[in-house]
Homo-oligomer: A and B are copies of this chain.
Amino acid sequence: MTIWERPEPKPRAAPVPLSRDKIAATAIRLADAHGLDGLSVRKIAKELGVGPMRLYDYVVNRSELLDLMVDVVYARIARADRRAGWRDTVLDIAHATREAALDHEWFADILGGRPHLGPHALAVGEANAAALAQAPGIDGLDELQRALGALNSFIIGAIRREVTERRTTRDTGDDINAFQSRLGPYLRRMLDTGDYPTVARLVIDGAHLEPAETFAHNLTTVLDGITG
């Protein structure tokens, strides 16, 4: 077959360059938009324009992918402005963590559910521990360990609860989740039974407290309690 009759061979498409950072950034963008339940290896790969198995050159499995994503969030927490002094350092880290979680709600789903051992996570942990070690009321490693545990427990629980409440109350256009549309009427009926008077007072008469102010207030209360 002469050259004029032979079709020109189609060059193989240049493979899409990938990197750990690129994969993590794409995964985070998708998780921000759709939550962890809506995140999958196949969707990330599609967004990157590659086959799903390409990701397995960079991570062993989906779990490691989550670890990557989490450490990117910690990198942001690590970069946040921080004042001097042990107390302000601890407060600043807590607030930065909360703000990161509000921007990346899926992060709240992971908090406390798996150990965070990425380099940035360790750096944030180190800064937090080093600061708390300087609190006047903390004498010795056992007290530091307990105090850190109490503080981190509060932060994890507070952030999770805030993000959960945020999701429950959010109206996302026509994508109202099944739970939210049933919550109001059902809860009202349950409270009308008279079996939960204190909960009823809280729900019906309780003011809608500003979340940032509540977090700040409770954080200082807990911090003063564990370092007093």
Q: Which residues of A approach B to under 8 Å, CB–CB?
A: 60-61, 63, 109, 111-115, 117, 119, 122-123, 125-126, 129-130, 133, 141-142, 144-146, 148-150, 152-158, 160-161, 164-165, 168, 178-179, 183, 186-187, 190, 195-199, 201-202, 205-207, 209, 214, 217-218, 221-222, 224-226, 228
| A168 vs chain B, min Cβ distance (A) | 6
Known: A115-B179, A117-B186. 11 other contacts (CB 8 A): A114-B164, A123-B196, A126-B195, A126-B196, A133-B198, A141-B207, A142-B206, A146-B218, A153-B155, A222-B222, A225-B225
| A223 vs chain B, min Cβ distance (A) | 8
A91 to B112, CA, bound (A): 22
A50 to B119, CA, bound (A): 48
A141 / chain B contacts, CB cutoff of 8 Å: 201-202, 205-207
Best-buried of A115, A125, A160, A225 by chain B (most CB within 10 Å): A225
A205 to B133, CA, bound (A): 14
| Contact yes or no, A190 B113, CB < 8 A | no
**Cβ 8 A contact of A129, one of B154, B165, B199, B222:** B199
Given contacts A199-B126, A207-B141, A218-B149, whether A119 and B157 have CB atoms under 8 Å apart is no
A63 / chain B contacts, CB cutoff of 8 Å: 178-179
